[in-house]
Amino acid sequence: MIPIEPGQEWTVESFTPEDARGVADLFLGVYGSEYPIQIYVNPDLLIRENQAGRVISSVAKTAKGDIVGHNAIFNLAPCRKVYESGAGLVHRDYRGGHGIFTQLVAHGLALGRERPDVDQVFGEPVCNHPFSQKMCRGLGFVTRAIEVNLMPAAAYAKEAWAAGRVTTTMDFITLKSSPCTVHVPKAYESIFPVFYEGLDDERQFVLSGQPLSSQQVTRLDTRIFDFAQVAKLAVKALCKGFSTVMKAEEDRLLQQGIRVIQVWLSSGDPSLGEAVDSLRSSGYFFGGVLPRWFDSDGILMEKLVDEPVWEDINLCFDRAQTLMALIRKDWEAVRNLNKNKHGRTGQ
Which CATH number covers residue 120?
Answer: 3.40.630.30
Percent of the chain beyond pLDDT 90? 88
pLDDT at 34: 82
Question: Domain range for residue 286?
Answer: 180-342
Report pLDDT for 342.
Answer: 63
Total domains in the chain come to 2
| Mean pLDDT calculated for residue range 119-132 | 94
For the chain, give the mean pLDDT: 94
> CA-based angle 313:121:309, to the nearest 5?
10
pLDDT at 346: 44
Query: Using one digit for the tens of pLDDT, what is the confidence trace for 163-186?
Result: 679 999 999 999 999 999 999 999
The number of CA neighbours under 13 Å toward the Cβ of 346 is 26
Chain center to CA of 113:
20
The helix (H) or strand (E) run that includes residue 220 is strand 219-225
Q: Is residue 1 situated within a structural domain?
A: no
Would you say residue 87 has pLDDT above 60? Answer: yes
Confidence check: pLDDT of 95 > 60: yes
Instruction: Tell me the CATH number at 190.
Output: 3.40.630
Task: Look up the pTM and report it.
Answer: 0.93
45-66: per-residue pLDDT in tens?
A: 999 999 999 999 999 999 999 9
pLDDT at 344 exceeding the cut of 70: no
pLDDT of 345 reads 44
Coil, strand or helix at 343:
coil
Q: Which of 174, 208, 239 finishes a domain?
A: 174
Q: Is 347 part of any domain?
A: no
Same domain membership, residue 191 and residue 94: no
Q: 158-162, 197-201, 312-316: which range is least confident on average?
A: 158-162
Kindly tell me if the per-residue pLDDT of 189 is higher than 60.
yes
What is Dmax (Cα atoms) for the chain?
65
Task: Choose one of 115, 150, 174: the last residue of a domain.
Answer: 174
Residues 253-271: tens digit of each pLDDT: 999 999 999 999 999 999 9
> Is residue 161 predicted with pLDDT exceeding 90?
no
Same domain, 200 and 167: no
Q: What is the pLDDT of residue 98?
A: 83
Mean pLDDT of 301-324: 96
Do 90 and 164 sit in the same domain of this protein? yes
* Predicted pLDDT of residue 155: 63
SS3 of 334, please?
helix
Count of helices and strands (H, E) across the chain: 8, 14
Mean pLDDT, rounded, for 203-207: 98
pLDDT of 251 > 70? The answer is yes
* Residue that finishes a domain, picked among 128, 144, 174: 174
